[in-house]
Amino acid sequence: MAAGAPPPSSPGVAVLADATLCRRITASVSGWPFPLYRFYCEVVTRYTLHAAFEGYPLEQFPQRRGAVLHVALAEDDLRILKMAYEARKSLAAVGSGLALLDTSRVAACAAHFGRVDALRWVADVAAAESERWAVEEGLMLAPLHRGDVAMLELLATRFPPESTTINYAALKHVVLRNDTATIQWAYDRGYAFTWYGSYCAKFLMDHAASLEMLEVMHSGQRDVGCTTRAMNKAAALGDLRMVRFLHERRTVGCTHAALDSAAKLGSLDVVRYLHEHGLVQWGGCSTAAMDGAAKRGDLEIMRFLHENQSAGCTTDAIDSASANGHLAVVRFLHDHRSEGSTFRALNGAAAGGHAPVLAFLLASRPLECGGERAVVEALDEALAHGHAAAAALLREQLRK
């Protein structure tokens, strides 16, 4: 063969060297395309694959059925996703590896990983080849969970209604995390309450965690309302703005739990507002309000409740105030209340090393201190916690 002459060629070599002809031949051959097979071996096998589980809480992806398509979505590889779908169509008659190429939950998987381009492609293919695609439910759950309003809008626009329903639990999660943008979208789209009726609507509003969320929800359901839990929660947060908003725009008021929670929290402005506007149904607070204020050492709230509410307190008031060293509260309760205390007051003060409280209890409430045995127990508490001054005071009491 002369130098520089082209190498001898055969028909087989000529075919392989012709890219167009090679593609046409391989297209008619059954089996996985090599890039898809390599993707499975090198990428899919690295993933933990989950069993299919639809609903709320969120599904886990990728799943075993449709693993290749799911992993392609996880990897944001639209080329492999399309190749896997085309391979499934060509392999349908052969039955080779169809489970791995199944289109089950592909749209849900794309929504889970936030793949916008893939979702648009799925919507186009599902519309054009509806006989190949089963209608998927629960597509909105993952975007709702992360507050992805753009994806929610895409799903609501491009997918059928049976795929884009939203359940009460998912909306409740949105409200609890105070995601006003997402709940506003739900209202604008007609989801938030028209799908559940007034019962669920009320309870969603009850879970509002900020004034901004209340404003959004109020504007969206003026004819539905809320329950007493809404103001109870606002009071428990110590948020006077929320309490005022609900009072001015709703009529259900609250229960004693609102006053109790505000008092325990130390929110005097909320306690005062609830009392002055008569918002508590069936009377005022319970004994838990004054007991809670005493435990915190909040003398101002204690005085307000004593002067304006009739529930009073229990022996827990002095007992807990003593344990926390709130001498001013202990004095106030001793001077103005008749509920008394128990031996726990002395033990608690001793364990906390609150010598001034111990001295007051021993001098002013000797009968309730429980006698010599109770003093010995209190001394043990003081010694166990290393409070020398309290222990000395109790020893002196035993010598009397």
Distances (CA, A) of 382 to 16, 269, 329, 352, 399: 93, 38, 22, 7, 17
Whole-model pTM over 0.75: no
Which whole number is the average pLDDT over 19-25?
59
pLDDT tens digits, one per residue of 349-396: 999 999 999 999 999 877 666 778 888 999 999 999 999 999 999 999
d(CA 186, CA 158): 16
More confident residue, 294 or 30: 294
Q: What's the confidence (pLDDT) of residue 24?
A: 59
Predicted confidence at residue 199, as pLDDT, reads 60
Average pLDDT over residues 27-48: 84
- Secondary structure of 260-327 as H, E, C letters: HHHHHHCCHHHHHHHHHCCCECCCCCCHHHHHHHHHHCCHHHHHHHHHHCCCCCCCHHHHHHHHCCCH
Decide if 258 contacts 235 (C-beta within 8 A). Answer: yes
**How far is Cα 347 from Cα 338, in angstroms, rounded to an integer?**
20
Query: Any idea which of 18-22, 97-101, 200-204 has the lowest mean pLDDT?
Result: 18-22
> Rounded CA gap, 120 and 107, in Å?
9
For the ranges 49-63, 318-332, 379-393, which has the lowest average pLDDT?
A: 49-63
Q: What is the pLDDT of residue 93?
A: 45
Examine the pLDDT at 23 and tell me if it is beyond 90: no
Tens-place pLDDT, residues 79-138: 999 999 988 877 654 455 678 888 889 999 999 999 999 999 999 998 888 766 778 888
Which pLDDT value is given to residue 146? 93
| Percent with pLDDT over 90 in the chain | 58
Q: Residue 148 above 50 pLDDT?
A: yes
CATH architecture of the domain 314-400 equals Alpha Horseshoe (1.25)
Q: Show the CA angle centred on residue 124, arms to residues 168 and 141, nearest 5°.
A: 15
pLDDT at 54 over 80: no
Minimum mean pLDDT range among 13-17, 79-83, 211-215: 13-17
Percent of the chain with pLDDT over 70: 84
HSE value, Cβ hemisphere, 13 Å, CA-based, for 8: 2
Predicted pLDDT at 223: 58
Domain ranges of the chain: 36-165, 314-400
pLDDT of residue 175: 87
User: pLDDT tens for residues 162-196?
Assistant: 899 888 788 888 888 999 999 899 888 888 655 45
Which residue would you say has higher pLDDT here, 202 or 83?
A: 83
Instruction: Give phi and psi for 50, each to the nearest 5.
Output: -105, 155
Indicate if the pLDDT at residue 269 is higher than 90: yes
Task: Map residue 377 onto helix, strand or coil.
Answer: helix
Q: Is it the case that residue 15 has pLDDT exceeding 80? A: no
From 234, 293, 229, 227, select the one nearest 260 (Cα to Cα): 293
